[in-house]
Structure 1
Amino acid sequence: MSSFKISSFEEYQQVYKKSVDDPEGFWADIAGTFRWQQKWDKVLDWNFTEPNVKWFTGGKLNITENCLDRHLEKNGNTVAYIWEPNNPNDQTIKYTYRELYEKVCRFANVLKKHGARKGDRVCIYMPMIPELAIAVLACARIGAIHSVVFGGFSAHSIADRIQDAQASLVITADGGVRGNKEIPLKSVMDDALELCPTVKKVIVYTKIKTPAYMQRGRDYWWDEELATVGADCPAEPMDSEDTLFVLYTSGSTGKPKGVLHTCGGYMVFAQYTFENVFQYSQPEIFFCTADIGWITGHSYIVYGPLLTGATSVMFEGIPTWPDPGRFWDIVQKHRVTTLYTAPTAIRSLMASGLKHVEKKDLSSLTKLGSVGEPINEEAWHWFHDHIGKGNCPIVDTWWQTETGGIMISPIAGITPTKPGYATLPLPGIQPCLIDEKGQEIEGNGVSGNLCIKFPWPGMIRTTYGDHERCRKTYFSTYKNMYFTGDGCLRDDDGYYRITGRVDDVINVSGHRIGTAEVENAINMHTGVVESAVVGYPHDIKGQGIYAYVITEKTPSDANLMKQDILMTVSRIIGPIAKPDKIQFVSGLPKTRSGKIMRRILRKVAEGDLANVGDTSTLLDPAIVDEIKAGVIA
């Protein structure tokens, strides 16, 4: 496999210029390094009006042949995954590429035995165990479309996603463990399936040996089914633009949207970004701490590393259990060279002090990475000084579920970095800043809304089953632009700094949560009339959720009512979406047309009471004084 790895800043500048002058030639050269069953006829066909984007049309491939088969001859005995269990006293498991290939083919045959075919949707709801990656790859092997649902979501959230995708098969486990908590995955899934008539088969992996309800004719044990199949499973030929996966993400409306990625472009982009941003080469050990339930896990635990032939650590647990030194124990134990984690995790570990870091041997680390939200300067310096010991470049990566892979980021050890800056676009990425009139802002020392003006291979193709929603969300705000939903500053050196969401989406611990989704959940609680949700700065999570709630009558026990609301949100969405602060109010600041003025609510939640702005256009300006008086510090 020939490499397109950039080796100097001068080379980056030359390659970047080529990628803008001749994007089709640039991406075609990179795509030519992969195994194709049939070469493409046309590199790119696109418009951002409909939108309609197609890469490598006419090309046939299977992404798992590029993740697994092509490594077998020379690197079959290379370790693909080092699985680190939740409990540090349990045994680490390692899988070579050959072992992973065999397990994927076997489980792909189980899926086929149970009727899964090319184009069928398969919902996966599992803990962070190797079998999760095996399930994902087995779907891709046979051309089934995987939709992974994060193991912390509620039955209601799972049902929404299964129904939207019309999934026919589910893969889950009896349960999972995170820290000292057991998560009853199968029973949560059973509750979800009561609302999902499209699901015909459920395959259940035994993880924690907890009793599980197994419905005859529907539910089957993973291990028992494996015993009935062989290990030979030819890869299904897929068109470059066939769907690889759908991954649900929160939007500014209540219903989650299924972001759809296709086989060819996503493959090329995931591998190129992984190898370049992290400057990966064997025998380095790469540790991405994300969950495969999010896009970071898809691109930088499953596809990117495997396409590159890398060795990755997959971790089942959480960074703070059994104590806040767990990440550093893993780095020391497995001689990790690259650690890719979230600012939220860094801030929570900072807060626990240096005693959990000081005696750990972190000398194997050569590169650090940050993902999910902009990293604040204090956390950047702590990460750089205490974890990297001043010797490890930090790649502060900006990208989204919709972009499929990293877009703006330093290249490790090559791009000069600045704390808090995602720095420069990767080759092939053409960002621009747009003002409120929709005009592009030229030059440096400016800020505006971040858009991308030319397609890239890993980009979203549609939102599953609702193309109009895709058009309206990403392509209707500015003509011929993909709008990211983020505000951005470009400094005097041309470096990009993401300043946060400009739509009604809150970034909590690096996970996007739509305000409407949380409001819908709060409003389901009996006794709640209406609610409004905004984000506010949070020391650990980056953004916290602040809820203003109108109730039918004044709660006799306000604290109990708050607990009830939190339980409701937990049940409907999952614990990740629980508000951090709930303020009971008698009304909300609304315009005469009925629109809630969130700008005012944000200022109050942030504690910036002197700058709520003009309230004269409100239906009832006095309500603002009442809200300010009751603000929760």
Structure 2
Amino acid sequence: MINGATQVLYEGVPNAPHEGRWWEIIEKYKVSIFYTAPTAIRTFMKWGEAIPAKFDLSSLRLLGSVGEPINPEAWMWFRRVIGGDRCPIVDTWWQTETGSIMISPLPGVTSTKPGSAQVPLPGVSAAVVDDDAHEVGPGRGGYLVLDQPWPSMLRGIWGDRERYEDTYWSRFRGLYFAGDGAKRDADGDIWLMGRVDDVMNVSGHRLSTTEIEHALVSHPWVAEAAVVGAADETTGQAVVAFVVVKSDGDGAHASGHEVAVALREQVKNQIGALAKPRTILVVSEVPKTRSGKIMRRLLRDVAEHRTVGDVTTLADSSVMDAIRDGLETGKADQD
């Protein structure tokens, strides 16, 4: 806004009064920059290309994603279907607390990589470190930290200095740690791996929920997936997957068991047998907040047969009832 941008606001959800609501707004007001969450993009993929094809999206010149790591398949769909293969995509990492975008390609400058946030912006210095705060090498995962002050950095939490220090500065001395895992590739570009607390310990091996979700949605039948860890007497934790199948694909005609068999093989081939989900439940929707973020906390409650927590922030709380009923009536495929 300080640069004179005009922003379009509306009240409602993406599928009311119809599933082309956002594209209708873009066409009507000639929106030039569209910035949304990967979860929303995967929802549009599930609804099909025919919906955005009804609208004129030629005013768009820049696309962005935010809120969670974006899988390459969603990135490519976003660019092709919404951006007409002409709009650069900026996959951004930042927090409300950082005051601005911290890691992102520069449109028109950076050679982008589908799924990678890539490089710190000018004035920002980031590193990926191990448990001892040593930088990791190419291809290795670790903790994403900021190792130098930046122009818009937070300086405290109002009235609670101790909480500020404990939350952001206690894990690594002198380094700002936001709680996200990442890895660097051979070019030094950064790939976000999700929250480090979204890591499962299966038979002594640490598995990223984000990595397994990306493997699942890379299957042509799957529009969206959410993975959580559930307590397991044998392995410590087991992988539980909730998947949404594309309505216009071959998977729409497959049984839940057939979907599960195909997806376990997909995960096995892409990551390894250890990461195969123990339980796969085909659902019509996964629980999301009104801003489009998946509420994995609630799925974890369901997977471990606990009372489901607060659902007031969900866009549609009835989604949880349907998921819980599916587990209780034996519709989940168990390995």
- Whether these two folds match at TM > 0.5 is yes
The equivalent position to 1:471 in structure 2, one of 136, 143, 165, is: 165
Instruction: Indicate yes or no: 2:113 matched with 1:372.
Output: no
Deviation of 1:354 after TM superposition, in Å, equals 1.7
Look up the SS of the partner of 1:486 in the other structure.
strand
Query: Residue in 1 aligned with 2:301?
Result: 547
Deviation of 1:549 after TM superposition, in Å, equals 8.2
The within-5 A match list for 1:140-289 is none
Look up the SS of the partner of 1:422 in the other structure.
coil
Query: Residue in 2 aligned with 1:448?
Result: 142
Contact residue 393 and residue 413 of structure 1 kept, 8 A: yes
Deviation of 1:408 after TM superposition, in Å, equals 0.4
Query: Residue in 1 aligned with 2:121?
Result: 426
Query: Residue in 1 aligned with 2:224?
Result: none
Instruction: Indicate yes or no: 2:112 matched with 1:417.
Output: yes
Look up the SS of the partner of 2:97 in the other structure.
helix
Relative distance call for 1:476 and 1:365 in structure 2 (3 A) is same
In 1, the alpha carbon distance for the partners of 2:178 and 2:65 equals 19
In 1, the alpha carbon distance for the partners of 2:198 and 2:100 equals 23
Residues 416-451 of structure 1 show CA distances to partners (whole Å, capped at 9, x for unaligned) of 11100001110011001111222223x533321100
Letter in 1 for 2:158: Y
In 2, the alpha carbon distance for the partners of 1:467 and 1:328 equals 44
Contact residue 535 and residue 543 of structure 1 kept, 8 A: no
The equivalent position to 1:457 in structure 2, one of 126, 138, 151, is: 151
Look up the SS of the partner of 1:313 in the other structure.
coil
The within-5 A match list for 1:255-334 is 306-334=1-29
In 1, the alpha carbon distance for the partners of 2:198 and 2:92 equals 22
Deviation of 1:503 after TM superposition, in Å, equals 2.5
The equivalent position to 1:500 in structure 2, one of 194, 200, 210, is: 194
Residues 246-277 of structure 1 show CA distances to partners (whole Å, capped at 9, x for unaligned) of xxxxxxxxxxxxxxxxxxxxxxxxxxxxxxxx
Relative distance call for 1:577 and 1:389 in structure 2 (3 A) is closer
Instruction: Indicate yes or no: 2:88 matched with 1:349.
Output: no
Query: Residue in 1 aligned with 2:290?
Result: none
Letter in 2 for 1:574: T
In 1, the alpha carbon distance for the partners of 2:242 and 2:98 equals 26
Aligned length: 244
Two-structure CA RMSD over aligned residues (Å) = 3.3
Relative distance call for 1:374 and 1:549 in structure 2 (3 A) is closer
Contact residue 374 and residue 420 of structure 1 kept, 8 A: yes
Unaligned runs of 5+ in 1: 1-305, 508-514, 516-531, 552-561, 584-604, 606-628
Relative distance call for 1:316 and 1:576 in structure 2 (3 A) is closer
Query: Residue in 2 aligned with 1:569?
Result: 310
Residues 470-528 of structure 1 show CA distances to partners (whole Å, capped at 9, x for unaligned) of 21121011111001211101111111110111026999xxxxxxx9xxxxxxxxxxxxx
Query: Residue in 1 aligned with 2:95?
Result: 400
In 2, the alpha carbon distance for the partners of 1:538 and 1:470 equals 37
Letter in 1 for 2:313: G
In 2, the alpha carbon distance for the partners of 1:373 and 1:486 equals 10
In 1, the alpha carbon distance for the partners of 2:182 and 2:106 equals 20
In 2, the alpha carbon distance for the partners of 1:364 and 1:550 equals 47
Unaligned runs of 5+ in 2: 200-208, 211-227, 229-236, 245-285, 287-292
Contact residue 139 and residue 185 of structure 2 kept, 8 A: yes
Deviation of 1:462 after TM superposition, in Å, equals 2.0
Letter in 2 for 1:444: P
Deviation of 1:382 after TM superposition, in Å, equals 0.9
Relative distance call for 1:575 and 1:311 in structure 2 (3 A) is closer
The within-5 A match list for 1:42-53 is none
Contact residue 320 and residue 349 of structure 1 kept, 8 A: no
In 1, the alpha carbon distance for the partners of 2:15 and 2:304 equals 36
The equivalent position to 1:438 in structure 2, one of 133, 148, 152, is: 133
Relative distance call for 1:310 and 1:549 in structure 2 (3 A) is closer
Relative distance call for 1:466 and 1:485 in structure 2 (3 A) is same
Look up the SS of the partner of 2:182 in the other structure.
strand
Relative distance call for 1:538 and 1:448 in structure 2 (3 A) is farther
Contact residue 537 and residue 543 of structure 1 kept, 8 A: no
Contact residue 536 and residue 543 of structure 1 kept, 8 A: no
Structure possessing the higher radius of gyration over alpha carbons: 1
Letter in 2 for 1:547: D
Deviation of 1:453 after TM superposition, in Å, equals 0.5
Query: Residue in 1 aligned with 2:30?
Result: 335
Contact residue 432 and residue 450 of structure 1 kept, 8 A: yes
Deviation of 1:460 after TM superposition, in Å, equals 2.3
The equivalent position to 1:486 in structure 2, one of 176, 180, 191, is: 180
Residues 308-335 of structure 1 show CA distances to partners (whole Å, capped at 9, x for unaligned) of 0122212222211111111111111111
Relative distance call for 1:374 and 1:331 in structure 2 (3 A) is same
Look up the SS of the partner of 2:197 in the other structure.
coil
Look up the SS of the partner of 1:450 in the other structure.
strand
Relative distance call for 1:467 and 1:537 in structure 2 (3 A) is farther
Letter in 1 for 2:301: A
Contact residue 346 and residue 383 of structure 1 kept, 8 A: yes
Residues 140-160 of structure 1 show CA distances to partners (whole Å, capped at 9, x for unaligned) of xxxxxxxxxxxxxxxxxxxxx
Residues 521-562 of structure 1 show CA distances to partners (whole Å, capped at 9, x for unaligned) of xxxxxxxxxxx9x996655655632216889xxxxxxxxxx8
Contact residue 536 and residue 546 of structure 1 kept, 8 A: no
Look up the SS of the partner of 1:403 in the other structure.
coil
Contact residue 569 and residue 577 of structure 1 kept, 8 A: no
Contact residue 181 and residue 192 of structure 2 kept, 8 A: yes
Look up the SS of the partner of 1:489 in the other structure.
strand
In 1, the alpha carbon distance for the partners of 2:303 and 2:73 equals 34
In 1, the alpha carbon distance for the partners of 2:4 and 2:304 equals 55
Tell me the TM-score normalised to structure 2 length.
Answer: 0.64
In 2, the alpha carbon distance for the partners of 1:352 and 1:631 equals 23
Look up the SS of the partner of 1:379 in the other structure.
helix
Relative distance call for 1:361 and 1:499 in structure 2 (3 A) is same
Letter in 2 for 1:486: D
In 1, the alpha carbon distance for the partners of 2:120 and 2:54 equals 37
Contact residue 240 and residue 303 of structure 2 kept, 8 A: no
Contact residue 463 and residue 469 of structure 1 kept, 8 A: yes
Tell me the TM-score normalised to structure 1 length.
Answer: 0.35
In 1, the alpha carbon distance for the partners of 2:135 and 2:145 equals 9
In 2, the alpha carbon distance for the partners of 1:347 and 1:436 equals 33
Contact residue 15 and residue 21 of structure 2 kept, 8 A: yes
Contact residue 142 and residue 181 of structure 2 kept, 8 A: yes
Q: Percent identity?
A: 45
Relative distance call for 1:543 and 1:470 in structure 2 (3 A) is same
